[in-house]
Structures are given as C-alpha cells and as structure tokens.
Structure 1
Amino acid sequence: MKTTQAYRFALDLTPRQERVVLAHAGAARVAHNWALARVTAVVDQRAAERSYGVADEHLTPAAGWSLPALRRAWNAAKADVAPWWAQCSKEAYNTGLDALARALKNWADSRGGKRKGRPVGFPRFKSRRRSTPTVRFTTGTIRVDPDRTHVVLPRLGRLKTHESTRKLARRLEADTARILSATVRRDSGRWHVSFCVEVNRAGRGPTRPAATVGVDVGVKHLAVLSTGELVPNPRHLDHAGRRIRRLARRMSRRLGPDRHTGRRPSKRWERARAHVTAAHARVANLRRDGLHKLTTGLAREYGVIVVEDLHVAGMLRNRRLARSIADAGFGELRRQLAYKTEWYGGRLMVADRWYPSTKTCSGCGAVKTKLALSERVYACITCGLVLDRDLNAARNLAALAHEATTAGSGPVAGRGADHKTRPGGPVAVKRQPGTAIGGSDRDRPTARRDFRSHAYRSALIGNGS
C-alpha cells in the first residue's frame, strides 16, 4: 500500500546556516506580501468601480490568484520588487506564493459554500517578527546522507541533524520510499526539517484482526477501552503549570516590547520568553509522544476500533473543562487513529455524535433520560447493573460495531465521520423525545425496549433505508 507520510527531524544549524535559512524564509514572506498586495489592490479597485456604476465589461481586469498566475506575475516584477532575488532559491519565492494561493482558494471556497467548517477569513500580510520562518523545497538535491546524521537541501547545503535519520534512511536504501518535498521550519526556538515521503508500506495486518474495541475518551482517564483497560490522563500541562507560571512572572518583570511607543524588547526579555516557549514546547512534545504510543498500540492490535464523533470545538466552550480537554487532545487522538488504522489494515468506525453511549445500559439497553457529569458510576434501574460510566460507554461502542458487522453493513458513520456510509449501512441516530421505539406511540403502543430486539436495535442504530 502506498501512502504519504512525514518524517520530522531536529536540526543543529551553525550561525551562518541559520542566517541563510532566515534569508530564504524572508524571501518567501516578501513574495507572499507582494502578491497579496497586488491581489488586494485589484479587488479594491474593482469594488470601487462597481460603486461608481461602471459596467462589468469596463472594470479593471481581475488578477488571477492561482499558483501559476502568481508565479508569472512574480517573475515579471521580481527584478524591480526584489533586486536581490538571485541570492535565494526559487523555491523560497514559490513557498510564499503557494501559501497565498492556498489561502485565497480556501477563502473563496468558504464564501461560496464549498468548504466545510468555520468561515475562513481573507489572507493577511505576514510580519517579520510574528510570522513563523519556513521554506519548502520541492525540486533540486534533496537527500539524506548515508551517515544518517546529515541532510542535503538545495542552496542550504549539508545540514546536521540533532537525531539519527535511520528510520527514513532504511526505507530509502530499501527503495520503499521516495522523498517528495522538504520543509525547514522554526518551531519553539528550534529548527526542524520535515520530509514529505511517499512510502510503500508492507501489507501487514493487526495482531488481532477479528477483535473489536470501543474507545471512550475523557478527562479523568485519557481513554477507557471496552476490554476494561484504563489509560491514565498524564495531564502534562497541569504538571508543568508551576514552572510555566514562574517563568512567565520572570518574563513580565523584564522590559518587553511596546507597539504604541515602538519600544524594542530587551535581551533579558527575549531570553525569558525563550524559556517560556521551551516549557510550552516540552508539554506539547510529551502530549504528542503519549498520543502516538497509544494510537499505534491500538492500531497494531485491534482490527476494528470504534470511537465517538465528539464536537471538540463545542466542548471547549465550557470554560471549566476547556483547559483539561485541550490538554488531553481528543481531536489529535482521533486524527492519528484515522490514518494509522489504514496503515495496519484495520478499520476505524465513528459512532454518530448523537448516539447515547454514556446514557445507555450496556447490559439491558435501557436509556437514561438524564445523567449528570458528576455521576461517575452508571447504575441501571432496570437490570441493576453498576459500572463505571466510561467503561459502560466503551462497551456500548464495541456492541454498536458488533451489531453493524452482523447486519452485513459498512462502518458506523455519522456527521463528521471520515467517510460516507455505504448504501444500506446503519447510522446511529438520536430518538426524538416523546416517540416510541421504531415509530410513534400511536403506531407502536407496546414497543419493547429490549436492546437485543430487532425493533430497538433498528431505532438505535438505524436501518439504513
């Protein structure tokens, strides 16, 4: 199976190499700002002419904002705009123009209704001090040295890596990978290089291809599996909170920048800010490492993994839980499971957002009307089952996948799933209040709420018709 994945390595640049990389990142920013100013001027001019009653055929010609159009315009004007353009690679200017073309396309698609999610704003000019230095190379000499401690990039030369590149080097030597592009970027005060690689992965499946596991994510425990395994929540941000607050107070005592007076920050403030940035970067790295280990273990072991379609953006509006939810990384966990299940030949099933996995009894199928968040133990009044609420939800997710599989349908999907439901596949739906199972009270006055009955199962997960 061929797939595209990234290999990211930290770099140890010399002062001269860092100046050259910053020059390329600055060239990308100049090209981006020039092209954005050109497009903005034409758009404003056409809007002003329309306000004066000018006919459409007499308006100023529209400026194309696709990548080829921006390249042609830049090549025609670069001698006047940037007389020093020959000092940097052409890939640097292409980086800025490509970023602008993508941003303008996303903005146009968002306004036209072609793009889902939140509205995308019009692109902004990049600041030299606030923008992240980055440059992307797609052509030229891009390779990993045989010593596995250096990489070679166009115009930048041979760069030393902080860690070994053996994982990528082994695939390149075995001819099972091909480098498509390389991006040099400075994150949290450290330079990194990311290789976008086309990898030919061996067709190996999970160790337990017939096993199904339901995964319920939460704040008390990062993940609760239907098998009864509890994955503790490391709470990296809370553990590092004391150190981050101490460093932030130290930075606040230094002389920082002032945009109103134009005051430049002091060197001591810059060093203090670097310490705060490094502390936050360590938290992010620990969180990312823990999520990768968890998702890789699940994808390697289980053939079917069932998760919920959580509305994380809406959950973050709860100011009391927003910090803990963001620290847990619910969205990142699902994103990693989505592509890792494909790597290892498994399936990721996504239950519908309105499927009551927490309120449903995993023993008899009775559904509670209300269940407070403070109630950490699920007690069923119908069958007397007493169980941890997260474990109960995980078992319901696993049972939902089992019902969908025995019915001969495709993956359980819903709004926000990673792919559409196959024709005839079940979809977990929410029963409207005041209606009986499988129809109205008038149609089915004696409907039984038995989880194993066909009527209740059809109403709970849908019949796909």
Structure 2
Amino acid sequence: MARFQVPEGWTAQAYRFALDPTPSQVRAIRSHCGGARFAHNYMLGLIKAVIDQRAAERSYGVPDNELTPVLGWSLAALRKTWNTRKGTVAPWWTDNSKEAYNSGLDGLARGLDAWFASRKGVRAGAKVGFPRFKPKHRAVHSVRFTTGAIRVNLDRHHVTLPVLGTIHTHESTRKLARRKLARRIEAGTARILSATVKYDGQRWYCAFAVIVEGKHRGDRARRSPHPVVGVDVGVKDLLVVAAADGTEIERVPAPKPLTAAQARLRVLQRKAARQQGRWDTATESRQDPSKRWLRTQARIAKTHARVANIRRHELHTATTRLAHNHDVIVVEDLNVTGMSRRGGAYKRGLNRAIGDAALGRIRILLGYKTTWNQTRLVTADRWFPSTQTCSRCQAKTKLALRDRVYHCRNGCPPIDRDINAAINLARLGETTERGGVSGTGTGSSPAASVSAGDGCGAIRKT
C-alpha cells in the first residue's frame, strides 16, 4: 500500500484539545480502549502460538513444506484474520467502532515489523524485542480513528467522533492562535486525517492529525537582529543561544519539573507501598487491590501528568520563539540514549536529570517548527567538538563534565562553556550559509550541508 504523501504547499500538523466527557462517554471511551487492547493481545497470542508450534515441529524433524502455515502479520493480514474470528472470541465487538480494533492491530503490526527488521539488522538503533501483551491496568488508554464522522463542530466547543458521538471540549477550537483548527477547516485550508483519544493520567485528550495549506511565518513577525544562532542544550540551562559574534541572546534555565515533584512522589509512593496493591509478595500472585491503593495510584498518575505538562509547555515555548525570531538555527545531534544508558547508581542522578530535561525532544520540535516558519535547522555532526574548541583561537582543550568554565590552553580569557559551545555552533551555521567557505576558522567544507558538521576535522576518539 502506497504511503500517504503530504500535498505540495501543505504541512502536517497536530491539534490537541482537552476533553470534558460525560460519565457515559468515559465508559464508552474506555470500552474502545479495551477493545483495542483485546484485539492486540488476542492476535499477538495467535501469532506467538504459530511461531512456537513451527519451532517445535522443526525440533521433531518435520520438513519445512509440512510445517504449520505461517500467519501473516501485516495490518491487512491481521485484520483479515481478526474479522474471521471476532464473532466467536469477541461477540461484543459491535458495541465499539471497528476503528478501535484496527488501532490495536495497527500497533501490533508496527511492533512486529520493527522486531523483524531489528532482528535482521535492517533497523538502526537499539535492538527491538518481541511485542508484549498489554496488561489491563498498565497499558496506555488510547484509541485512534481514521474513518467515520471525525469533525470539529461549528459551535467551537465540541468534537464528534465515530460511535462516541459529540464530546464537549475544555477550550475553544478557534479563539487562541494555536487553536485555529475550526477556522481553517471552514476555509478549506485544513483537512483532518485521524483523531487519537488518549488518557494521560489526569484527563482525556483528543489529538487531530491535520494537513494545513500555506502555513508560513507572517510578514510582520518579529525577527531578531541575529539571523544565525547556535543553540547549546544542557541539564543546568536548557537552552543557551548565542550568535557568531559572541553575543549571548538568550539563556533558558531548565525547569526541572520532576525534581520539584520528587518530594510529593516520594510521599505518595511510600503511602502506596503500605497499602494492598495488585501483587501479593508473600504468595507471589495477583490480588484485588484496595480502593485506597487505587486512589493513591491515581494521585501518582496526576503528579506525573503535571510534570509532563510543565516540561512540554517549556519546550514548546522556547522552540517556538527560536523558530519565529531567527533564520538559521544550529543544534547538536546528541546521543541522548547513550548518555543515559550506563552508570548504575553512580549516574542515577545525572540520568534522571537528562530525562527530566528531555534533551532529545528539542531537535525534534525545532525540526518541524522551522519548516512551518520557512527557516533552516542545521544539525551539527555528533562528533563536532563544539564544547572543546575555543571560540577565540580554535584550540582544543579537554573539559570534564563538572567544568562549567572553559579555560583555553593558549591563555584566552575564561568563558562560560555553554556560551563557548553556542558560539561555535553559530559559526558553523554561518559556514553553511556561505556555501561551505569558512571565514571563522571553526568550519570546513563538510559543514556546508544542513545535516553536516565535521567542523575542525573532529575524529571519533574518546
């Protein structure tokens, strides 16, 4: 099946609204999420049984042409198998939309494809394990709709979804600048592709995947006098923005919402440990939890949801401001997974801080926001020595993580290490704008592409 292509002149975007469903609508939404989880678990068990059966037959010496037939795990094959069995295994399937079961099967198909590609060495990155069953009380409550009645109502305060009907929203779908979905749909400059309903532990949300026509930065939008900037990300200061001439433009401190919520989480988790949970440690078996334990878990989930909302707000605010004000933004390609993979108890605090800052999310947000605003995002190579290179004389000096001030080995005046790195990144962006001809000494011809940045000939040495 051909993959959907965004038309020329259109941009993909998402709009998310907080829902205010009635108790009956909450039960219907949970039923849809449960149907998606059931379809996922049932088909996963069926595929796993076939794989185990074929492995057992091979161990008995059965020829390959006489083995149990393979069960296809593409989305089309899973849907075909599910449709032939749903009347027997799920006689209640008519209570929900068919999109609920398709949502669970789609997630299973993607997981199996990722596992198979990783097993064959085709997929880059860390190895992907075989898909797991989704437990009822730990799985994310989510369901996606791609067909049917999906629309934003004309009264600006309701959305309509298949089978679920019309649901009230907490906020208007038109008034705020970031909520102009209703006006765009009326004007014919936006088209809804899908809608995803999800529970984040605090409330229900509906996210619309939309393609928008002609999204661009306004002519009267505020622009900075520094068109090319470098952005250094970190744990202490989330963003340090500087220009190539050494001017510090902005410094955004890390919000650290998880650190601020640690005291409350510690109290709630200790309280939950004293109550009767779902697992009995004495008999090592599942049990019915107490109502107080369920209430405590709900409070823990709300605390984590608040932490995620604060982090998301700070990231979106900072990245939107960068994409609006500057023409070229240069960031590093950080290996965040590798930075927080090992270390054990010695790196527990640093790993938590890296996850709390969400360093890997910044480049993703800037990636599509620069596209919306007709600006450029230059990604420096992972081995570009922005921190170790002096921004004055281009000499290299090794720095430990605890060193917050850069002391050049040639005797240049001390400078903040984050500002020094941001200046080097900004000069790399100027190199890109000049077509690869560096006038600053910190770039080279490989840095002339948007995804380059070998800079001063950095090599992959520890």
TM-score interval, normalised by the smaller of the two chains: 0.7 to 0.9
Q: Give 2:255's aligned residue.
A: 234
Alignment gaps of 5+ in structure 1: 411-419, 434-465
Counterparts of residues 237-248 of structure 1 (less than 5 Å) = 237-248=258-269
Q: Give 1:216's aligned residue.
A: 232
Q: Give the % identical residues.
A: 54
SS in 2 for 1:215: strand
Q: Give 1:51's aligned residue.
A: 59
Q: Deviations over 1:308-332 (max 9, x none)?
A: 1111112213334112111111011
Q: Give 1:458's aligned residue.
A: none
Q: Give 1:361's aligned residue.
A: 390
Counterpart-to-counterpart distance in 2, 1:287 and 1:350: 23
Change (3 A) 1:275 1:426: closer
Q: Give 1:379's aligned residue.
A: 407
Q: Deviations over 1:218-270 (max 9, x none)?
A: 12211111131221122222222222222323333332222524321111111
Q: Deviations over 1:115-168 (max 9, x none)?
A: 111111111122222212222111111111111111111111111112222221
Matched, 1:267 2:280: no
* CA deviation after TM superposition for structure 1 residue 421, in Å: 8.2
* CA deviation after TM superposition for structure 1 residue 74, in Å: 1.3
Q: Is the 1:182–1:195 Cα contact (8 Å) retained in structure 2?
A: yes
Q: Give 1:88's aligned residue.
A: 96
Q: Is the 2:115–2:129 Cα contact (8 Å) retained in structure 1?
A: yes
TM-score, normalised via structure 1 length: 0.86
Q: Identify the match of residue 46 of structure 2 among 38, 63, 74.
A: 38
Matched, 1:77 2:106: no
SS in 2 for 1:321: helix
Q: Deviations over 1:366-399 (max 9, x none)?
A: 111x222222211224252321111011101111
Q: Give 2:204's aligned residue.
A: 191
Q: Deviations over 1:278-317 (max 9, x none)?
A: 1111111001100000000001111111111111112213
Q: Give 1:430's aligned residue.
A: 458
Matched, 1:68 2:84: no
Given residue 336 of structure 2, which amino acid in structure 1 is its aligned partner? Answer: V
Change (3 A) 1:23 1:147: same
SS in 2 for 1:9: strand
SS in 1 for 2:127: coil
More displaced stretch, 85-94 vs 251-260? 251-260
Counterpart-to-counterpart distance in 2, 1:136 and 1:350: 33
Q: Give 2:335's aligned residue.
A: 311
Q: Give 1:444's aligned residue.
A: none
SS in 2 for 1:96: helix
Matched, 1:333 2:357: no
Change (3 A) 1:125 1:198: same
Counterpart-to-counterpart distance in 2, 1:2 and 1:140: 23
Aligned residue pairs total 423
Change (3 A) 1:240 1:426: closer
Q: Is the 1:409–1:425 Cα contact (8 Å) retained in structure 2?
A: no
TM-score, normalised via structure 2 length: 0.86
Matched, 1:8 2:35: no
Given residue 339 of structure 1, which amino acid in structure 2 is its aligned partner? Answer: Y
Q: Identify the match of residue 345 of structure 1 among 374, 378, 390.
A: 374
SS in 2 for 1:384: coil
* CA deviation after TM superposition for structure 1 residue 197, in Å: 0.8
* CA deviation after TM superposition for structure 1 residue 208, in Å: 5.1
Change (3 A) 1:111 1:409: farther
SS in 2 for 1:319: helix
Given residue 179 of structure 1, which amino acid in structure 2 is its aligned partner? Answer: I
Change (3 A) 1:147 1:350: same
* CA deviation after TM superposition for structure 1 residue 344, in Å: 0.7
Q: Give 2:143's aligned residue.
A: 135
* CA deviation after TM superposition for structure 1 residue 432, in Å: 7.1
Q: Deviations over 1:54-106 (max 9, x none)?
A: 22222221111111111111111111111222222111111111111111111
